[in-house]
Amino acid sequence: LYVGVPPADYGQRRGEADDVEGFMLTGNTCSVASGRIAYVFGLEGPVTSVDTACSSALVALHQAVRALRAGECTMALAGGVTVMAGPGIFLEFSRQRGLAKDGRCKSFSDDADGTGWSEGAGLFLVERLSDARRNGHRVLAVVRGTAVNSDGASNGMTAPNGPSQQRVIRAALADAGLSTADVDVVEAHGTGTALGDPIEAQAVIATYGQGHTWERPLLLGSVKSNIGHAQGAAGGASVIKAIMALKHGVVPASLNISEPSSHVDWDAGAVELVTESTPWPQVPRPRRIGVSSFGISGTNVHMILEQAPTDRADEADGPEEARPADGTRAEDTPAEDATAVPVPLLVSAKSEDALRAGAARVRDHIAAHPDVPLRDTAFSLLNTRAQLDFRGVVVAGDHASALGGLDALQSASPHPAAVTGTAGPARL
C-alpha cells in the first residue's frame, strides 16, 4: 500500500473538538493514513505514506510499480488523498499571491493568474500484467515507464525547474523503452500559475515537441482546468483522466484557456493545447499518454501509460477515430500490437561497421514486412544467427519503435531502446 498524503490540518481545529483528545496523534499523523488502511484490511506487505506535496499520488504509484517489479509484493494499492478541513492553505497561498482571483485553474492560458484548490482521492490497484491476465483481472491501462527526480539547487525552493522536468521525461521514456514520437498526449501538471505553466510547457516542447510534426502534434492538457488542483491527490486525478481517455479514444478539453500563454515559444516544437474535445490521434500502435506531476517540494514525476491490451482487442467495436490511420481494424493489425509485449531484436557482427550494416538489413526487412509479427523476427535473430563479438540490441513492442531503434543502431546514435557493446569472456 502506497498512499500520497500531505499534512492534514485537522490539528488546527483541536480547540473546537475536546471530545477527540487522545485520538489526535493517530488521527492527524500522515503515517497512519496508510497504516489505518492496512490495519482494517490486514495488509502485511510494504505500507508507506508519501508526502512530496503536489506530486505525492504519482510518487506513490511510481513506488508501487517499482515494488512490483522488484518482487516485494504481487499486488498493490497506490494513489493519493487530500482533505481541506480548514482555510489554512487558502490563506497561505493568497499571501504568496498564488491563488486565481476566480478560483479557476487556467492551465497554459495567457491570462493564468494562479491555482484553484480542490480535494479528493484517487486510488489504483496495480499488479504485473502477466499476473493480471493469469488471474482474469480487467486491465484498465498498462504502466510502461516511470521516473522520479528532484529540482535540486534551482532558482528557488518552490519554483519549478525546466531542465529537471526534461530529465524526468527522458528518464521515464528510457524506462519504457520508447521515444518521444511513441507518445501521443501529455496530461500535464498545469496548475495555472504564471510562473510554473510556461516552464512546464517549454520542457514538454523541448522533449516531446521535437519528436512530433505539425501534421501529428503532441496534444497537451491538464485536468486541473476541469476540477481544480487536488494537491496530494492531483496525480490520481490525472491518471484517472488518462485512463479514461485511453479507453474511449478521446482527449478531453482543457477549460479556461483564452489564448495560449505568450510566455511560451509554441513554435519551437510540435505541441498543441487541447481546447476542445479531440479524437485520439490515429496511430498504428497502442495509444500512449505521458502524465506529469511536480511538487512544490521539488520532487518531479513522469509516467507513461499505455492502452490496455483488452481494449485494443475490442477496438473494432469502438469509435472510428480509435482505428489506425490506414483504416484497418484492430484484429487486422500485427500480432505484437495486440499484446504490446516488448521483444529484443539482436544484431551481432565482427566489427562496428558490420554491426551497423546488419542493423540496416534488419531494419529494411522489418519495414518491408509489416505483416510479420515482431516476435517472429526476434526469435529468428536469437536462434538462427551466429553470436559474434560486436553486439547490439533494440527492445521494442511494435514496428514503429523497432524501426526507430534500428535507425539509431545503424547510425550509431543514442536511443533509449538501443544498446551496443562487445561480448566478454564466456562464463561456465
> What residues act catalytically?
54, 189, 229
Region label for 400, one of left (φ > 0), alpha (ψ between -120 and 50) or beta (otherwise): alpha
> Measured at the alpha carbon of residue 214, what is the angle toward residues 208 and 220, in degrees to the nearest 5?
45
Residue 391 contacts residue 166 (beta carbons within 8 Å):
no
Joined together, the cell numbers standing for residue 293 give: 506531476
Q: In terms of residues, how long is the chain? A: 428
If one counts every other C-beta atom within 10 angstroms of the C-beta of residue 42, the result is 6
Residues 272 and 72: their CA atoms lie apart, in Å, by 40
Annotate 280-302 with b (16+ C-beta within 10 A) or e (fewer). bbbbbbbbbbbbbbbbbbbbbbb
Burial group, residue 48, by CB count within 10 angstroms (0-12, 13-18, 19+): middle
Side chain identity at residue 86, one-letter code: G
**Cα gap 193→338, rounded to integer Å:** 41
- Give residue 331's Cα distance to chain centre: 27
Q: 185-187 and 2-4 as β-strands: parallel, antiparallel, unpaired?
A: unpaired
Residue 31 to residue 27: CA distance in whole angstroms: 10
Measured CA to CA, the distance from residue 287 to residue 153 in angstroms comes to 36
Roughly what angle, to the nearest 10 degrees, separates helices 352-368 and 374-383?
Answer: 150
Beta bridge partners of 306: 142, 288
CA distance 7 to 369: 56
